[in-house]
Amino acid sequence: MSRSKSQPSPETPETPRRAADRIRDTAFDLFYKEGIRAIGVEEIVSRAGVTKPSLYRAYESKDELIAAYLRDYDQRFRQRFEAPGAEHPDDPKAHLLAYLDYLSKRASSDGYRGCGLTNAVIEYPDPAHPAHQVGVESKQALRERLGEMCRAMGAYDPAELADGLLLLIEGSYVSGQAFGQGGPARVLGDTARRLIEASLSRPTET
């Protein structure tokens, strides 16, 4: 009975999965929580319960594993970002604010580690490094997506509002790590609302 079920079934992701998958998942967790440079390949494979050659058959180098981790992170981020859109079809403002409220809560709670992509860009300032490149590409895509949404919500200067919101988002990512619970990210939602309201009409002359 214990083994009546076919073990090699590829659609039953049991706890002890394929080595490559375990490596990917373990690397994701460790890279994100501890930082990329802080984690060696030895620690990844030992925590994943496999050995180094298994890692190097699945990935050409640590740098490629890093890039794969960041592409994974980017994909998951886009899901988190777009998910609230399902409940607010054709309402980009409500969609965006729903994500910001969610992020606000997450980023002002204890143990938050920010955005893996932002962290990677900081850990690898060299623009030639794959980690830097994947991070930057994701941020550029986010900037464009925000511009799109701000245009759709009728902002007076969509690109400017998008950049302002991007500053608030990135600020939440990093200050969430520095302050933990009760950090500045708690005001993200209200601040974004205020900024959006003030950016829909023509700017008032000071």
Partner DNA sequence: CAGGGTACGTACCGATCGGTAACATTGTCA
Partner DNA sequence: TGACAATGTTACCGATCGGTACGTACCCTG
Residues that bind DNA in the complex, under the rule CB under 7 A: 6-8, 18-20, 39-43, 49-54, 56-57, 61-63
Closer by beta carbon to DNA, 10 or else 89: 10
**Element housing 66 (H / E):** helix 62-82
Residue 89, Cβ density class (10 Å: 0-12 exposed, 13-18 middle, ≥19 buried): exposed
Q: Shortest Cβ distance from residue 119 to its own copies (Å)?
A: 5
Question: Cβ distance 84 to 102 under 8 Å?
Answer: yes
186 binds its own copies (CB under 8 A): yes
Q: Which does 82 bind (CB under 5 to 8 A by kind): its own copies, DNA, none?
A: none
166 binds its own copies (CB under 8 A): yes
73 binds its own copies (CB under 8 A): no
> In the numeric block, which tokens belong to residue 30?
């460790």
* Of 38, 83, 141, 200, the one binding its own copies by CB under 8 A: 38
Q: Which three-class secondary structure state does DSSP give residue 171?
A: helix
Q: Which does 76 bind (CB under 5 to 8 A by kind): DNA, its own copies, none?
A: none
200 binds its own copies (CB under 8 A): no
> In the numeric block, which tokens belong to residue 145?
């997506």
Q: Which does 94 bind (CB under 5 to 8 A by kind): DNA, its own copies, none?
A: none
In sequence order, what are the residues at sequence separation of 6 or more whose Cβ sits closer than 8 angstroms to the Cβ of residue 56? none
* Of 49, 194, 200, 201, the one binding its own copies by CB under 8 A: 194
Burial 4-19 (b: 16+ CB within 10 A, else e): eeeeeeeeeeeeeeeb
* Of 28, 31, 155, 191, the one binding its own copies by CB under 8 A: 191
Q: Which does 54 bind (CB under 5 to 8 A by kind): DNA, its own copies, none?
A: DNA
Cα–Cα distance list, 56 to 13, 20, 107, 127, 171 (Å)? 22, 10, 35, 25, 36
Q: Kindly compute the dihedral angle of the four CA atoms of residues 176, 182, 185, 189, in this order, to the nearest 10 degrees.
A: 150
* Of 169, 181, 200, 201, the one binding its own copies by CB under 8 A: 169
DSSP designation for 114: -
Interface residues with its own copies (CB under 8 A) are 33-35, 37-38, 113-114, 118-119, 121-126, 135-136, 139-140, 143, 160, 162-164, 166-175, 177-179, 183-188, 190-191, 193-195, 197-199, 203-204, 206
